[in-house]
């Protein structure tokens, strides 16, 4: 089922890029992963639940089980939303870790529900900031913010010359993408964020940005992210 979701979503993203490239000369719009109409007349939770590809189904189930729906629906926040694939990446990484001790063991979503709901309830805070971070306030060099757990991260809105993200050398329009740079260690405010790598921090591409719901802003992290930056 998850493989099917990934295939459908990848097709959807590819079609979106093709449509964006074909329309960028008509309306001046071509920003990698940004919604054409960012205004959404739903709460953050309901918008995620309404996704027709179901890419947040597992995330929302865990949110419900942990009782943290009010956290992502709080007014005036920005939520960097993980997807079901990010949960799956976490489960695979946890499985690899436990199999070093017992090769027969597996970690599953049920394991999270049984053993880690308190961790989930606490750790979801690393994706939430009490700031409204719409794309128009973001800069190419990025700015440091605090999440509600007290940790720090940078958010930037950078030009990309990656053809996979819509760059076309024949176009004068350079696409931009939102990058979420999570910090494991303190860094200077004026650091070159493009050079940040583990163990200092890690950079995650935002695959869908600038969703402005009735309760806040949502930026959706890409499917290569590992939930809670498990390592």
Residue 81 to residue 56: CA distance in whole angstroms: 9
The Cβ-side half-sphere exposure at 42, using a 13 Å CA radius, reads: 12
Taken in order of first residue, the domains within the chain and their CATH numbers are: 2-229 (2.30.180.10)
Q: Please write the tens of the pLDDT for every residue from 184-220.
A: 999 999 999 999 999 999 999 999 999 999 999 999 9
Q: What are phi and psi of 139, to 5 degrees?
A: -120, 165
The DSSP call for residue 39 is: B
The secondary element (H helix, E strand) that includes residue 183 is strand 176-183
- Other beta carbons within 10 angstroms of residue 37's beta carbon come to 7
Q: Please write the tens of the pLDDT for every residue from 117-147.
A: 999 999 999 999 999 999 999 999 999 999 9
Residue 224 to residue 40: CA distance in whole angstroms: 26
Q: Please write the tens of the pLDDT for every residue from 48-98.
A: 999 999 999 999 999 999 999 999 999 999 999 999 999 999 999 999 999
Residue 219 to residue 81: CA distance in whole angstroms: 6
Which two three-digit tokens encode residue 224?
């290569």
């Amino acid at each position: 089922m998850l493989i099917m979701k990934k295939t459908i979503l990848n097709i959807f993203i590819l079609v979106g890029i093709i449509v964006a490239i074909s329309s960028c000369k008509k309306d001046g719009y071509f920003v990698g992963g940004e919604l054409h109409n960012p205004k959404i007349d739903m709460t953050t939770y309901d918008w995620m639940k309404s996704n027709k590809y179901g890419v947040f189904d597992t995330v929302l189930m865990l949110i419900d089980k942990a009782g943290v729906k009010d956290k992502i629906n709080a007014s005036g926040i920005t939520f960097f939303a993980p997807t079901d694939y990010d949960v799956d990446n976490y489960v695979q990484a946890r499985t690899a870790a436990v199999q070093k001790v017992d090769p027969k063991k597996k970690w599953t979503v049920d394991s999270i529900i049984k053993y880690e709901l308190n961790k989930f309830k606490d750790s979801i805070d690393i994706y939430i900031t009490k700031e409204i971070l719409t794309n128009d306030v973001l800069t190419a060099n990025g700015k440091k913010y605090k999440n509600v757990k007290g940790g720090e991260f940078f958010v930037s809105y950078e030009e990309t010359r990656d053809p996979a993200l819509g760059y076309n050398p024949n176009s004068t329009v350079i696409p931009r993408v939102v990058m979420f740079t999570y910090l494991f260690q303190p860094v200077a405010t004026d650091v070159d964020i493009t050079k940040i790598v583990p163990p200092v921090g890690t950079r995650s591409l935002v695959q869908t940005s600038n969703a402005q719901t009735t309760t806040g802003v949502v930026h959706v992290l890409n499917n290569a992210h590992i939930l809670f930056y498990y390592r």
